[in-house]
Structure 1
Amino acid sequence: MAEPLGELLEFRLGGERYCLDIAYVDEIVTTTDIRSIPNAPDHVTGVTDLRGRTTTVVDPGVVLDVDDERDRTHIVVLDDEELTDTEGTVGWLVEDVRQVITASEDDVDRTPAMDDTPVAGVISNDSEFVVQLDPRTVAT
């Protein structure tokens, strides 16, 4: 029997499907009030105030080189305790949050070509591919 991988939050970037382990997710919010930061790295969209917490908003599409001109208003706020090497609260700006999926290790393709990338694996789901990301390796 396959080892359960767990629940994964599925979202879209550039029209493609991505996911990350739900253990890394603190909450999902919708906002357009993102303030830019002068001289910030390209992947940092800006900051926003979420109930008194300053949250750095990161565009994972820049890190993944995803071309996307779609409006993005969904922020997947990552759990600070799960990402011990980050300072402060970080959220990923995505175009759409789709669903929570359950997968097992047998569902995930992990190849050496994915080493040293933010890609943790590829899951075949509903005859489409869902790229699993490791938030510890996506620029935060």
Structure 2
Amino acid sequence: MAVGDHSDAQFDDPKQVLEFTVGDERYCVVLDSVAEIIDQQQSRSLPDAPPHVVGVMDYRGVTTTLVDTARLLGVESNPAASRVIVFDTGEEDDDVYGWLVDEVYRVTDLDPTDVDDAPFGDERTRGIVRTDDGLVVWVAPPTQR
């Protein structure tokens, strides 16, 4: 989403985002899409799962799909990644899933004037955020696992 481009959603006011790292890259997602941040749990692999799916884990009694976020976003994976950002879509068929990330960095306000068009990416890339300490890729979590 670019400055002045409001085709996906209204973005006139600052939003809070959660910044995280995957490999050497920094990303952010809108905070209201995040249910919780937890340490990685033991997971079980799934036969015939898409390549970006690590497996499933138990999260508060709910079977939760664990996603290799590095593979999903096309960056170098860290086998020692240990944090999971849990998303709860609230939809019956796609309730809870987690993104495996290296580190959760911080929660910050995202001002529309700090967002530029992404010169690359796919439907998940919403823009590039300019911060005091570098650039952060703003991504939308997938609505499907």
Contact in 1 for aligned 2:87/2:98 (Cα 8 Å): yes
Letter paired with 2:117: R
Structure 1 runs (4+) deviating above 2 angstroms are 2-5, 113-117
Letter paired with 2:94: E
Structure 1 stretches lacking a partner, 5+ long: none
Using structure 1 for the length normalisation, give the TM-score: 0.85
Matches within 5 A, 1:92-131: 92-111=99-118, 113-114=119-120, 116-131=122-137
Structure 2 stretches lacking a partner, 5+ long: 1-10
User: Aligned equivalents of 1:33 and 1:11: distance in 2?
Assistant: 21
Letter paired with 1:105: P
Q: Percent identity?
A: 36
**How many residues were matched structurally?**
135
| Structure 2 residue corresponding to 1:24, chosen from 20, 33, 56 | 33
Question: Per-residue CA shift, 1:54-98, capped at 9, x if unaligned?
Answer: 1101122112210123411111000222xx496231111101111
**Residue 135 in structure 1 maps to residue 141 in structure 2:** yes
Two-structure CA RMSD over aligned residues (Å): 2.1
- Taking a change above 3 Å as real, the CA distance of residues 65 and 115 of structure 1, as seen in their structure-2 partners, is closer
